[in-house]
Amino acid sequence: MADTRGALDDRDAAAGAQTDPLASPVFVLGMGRSGTTLLARLLSGTAALDLMPEERHFFAMAERHPSNANGTLDVGAFWRDYTRSVRFADAGVDASACYARAVAADDVTLTGLFRAMLAEHADRTGAARVGEKTTDDAAHVDTLLGAFPDARFILVERDPRAAIASQLKAPWNDVFVRHADGTPSPGGRLGKVARYAMIWRQFSKLAEAKAGAPYLTVLRYEDLVAREAETMERVWRFLGEDGIPPARDDAAYNEDVVELGNPKWNRWRTQHFEKSQGAVNEASLAKWRKQLTKLEVAVIEGVCGASLAASGYERTTSAAQRAAGRLVAQAIDRFGLFLNPVREDDMKFER
């Protein structure tokens, strides 16, 4: 039976003919430090698409909301708390207007409020098409497809060794791997390496599970760096455009972000966004070789397994070293390193 989402070349809403900004929203997925912000900047730099400021974490935060402890989310309570968070403030839309829009549509549900946020963003920016970039939306692809049957997903993939080396320098490592009471978990840096490798494997499994689906494509960061124009041409054709749309002068993805209470995080975010506006280069592709230890590389290659080679990334360790690295990761995991980890500071329900 034919997929109801149809083939790209059968869509009437393709290219300039699209009139509803939410008819086929675009969602950028991928492990952190994999080039998702760069792709979002390139996409939002055109007249055809405008993504919401990054990392809304809407559905992930709903899962962690206190009212969802028994599996029954209080949508109203979640919306009240979510709209007080930095994640919502970054979006630049009005909470009352979003809620009123959901009420008018008789859809005050989790997906209804998310749709209202996208609609408000479209109205505020005048975008012809909208979407967002939230890494953990990878766990909610089917939910998003239920709300937006013609949605398109771009999964950005990067050599896990390079992505993890970059992750280790990010400020959230100060708080990422902790127990529920906030105390640091044992395992230190090696534990983080193992955890990030497991996360990369989850994204790889998503790509494998959705292989051939007309609504998802995988983009390698390395291809974007080496052949930007060619790669973006392919991306835009996947999105239903005839080619790369013309640039617009007022595009400024993530230009305005709400400051967090942590100066270190503010400095990092500012530098991160500035770098995403710069020219694409290959300088960072091989830095991991000097930044990771042999044991860390063995853990990453052991956890990522055959998916590493299947994605086109050459393995540098022997089968025995990878097996040992995998055992190290399993031992770390088994001793409780990843029990109830606290995520980023600004993921909590306070401003």
Pull the structure tokens for residue 204: 């790889």
First and final C-alpha spacing in the chain:
49
Strand partners, 152: 26
Alpha helices in 69-187 (DSSP H): 75-82, 86-89, 95-104, 110-125, 141-147, 160-167
What per-residue confidence (pLDDT) applies to 56?
A: 77
Q: Is-contact 343 176, C-beta < 8 A?
A: yes
CA distance 273 to 254: 7
Of 42, 37, 47, nearest to 227 (Cα)? 42
β-pairing, 50-51 with 26-29? Answer: unpaired
Q: Which residue has the tokens 């997906």?
A: 111
Query: What CATH number is given for 17-347 in this structure?
Result: 3.40.50.300
Q: Is-contact 120 52, C-beta < 8 A?
A: no
CA distance 278 to 270: 13
Query: Torsion over CA of 290, 184, 181 and 198, rounded to 10 degrees?
Result: 40
Q: Is-contact 261 171, C-beta < 8 A?
A: no
CA distance 28 to 238: 13
119 Cα distance to chain centroid: 20
Give me the phi and psi of 197, to 5 degrees please.
-65, -40
Three-state DSSP at 319 gives helix
The amino acid occupying position 284 is S
Strand partners, 157: 220
Strand partners, 156: 219
What per-residue confidence (pLDDT) applies to 183?
A: 54
| DSSP-derived secondary structure for 177-191 | SB-TTSPBPTTHHHH
Domain locations in the chain as residue ranges: 17-347
Pull the structure tokens for residue 90: 């970054």
Three-state DSSP at 48 gives coil
CA distance 97 to 151: 24
Low-confidence stretches of the chain (pLDDT < 70) are 1-18, 173-187, 249-281, 336-351
Of 79, 82, 73, nearest to 100 (Cα)? 79
Give me the phi and psi of 246, to 5 degrees please.
-65, 145
The full length of the chain comes to: 351
What per-residue confidence (pLDDT) applies to 11?
A: 38
Q: What confidence tens digit (pLDDT) does each residue in 124-182 have? A: 989 999 999 988 899 999 999 999 999 999 999 999 999 999 999 887 766 554 444 45
What per-residue confidence (pLDDT) applies to 333?
A: 80
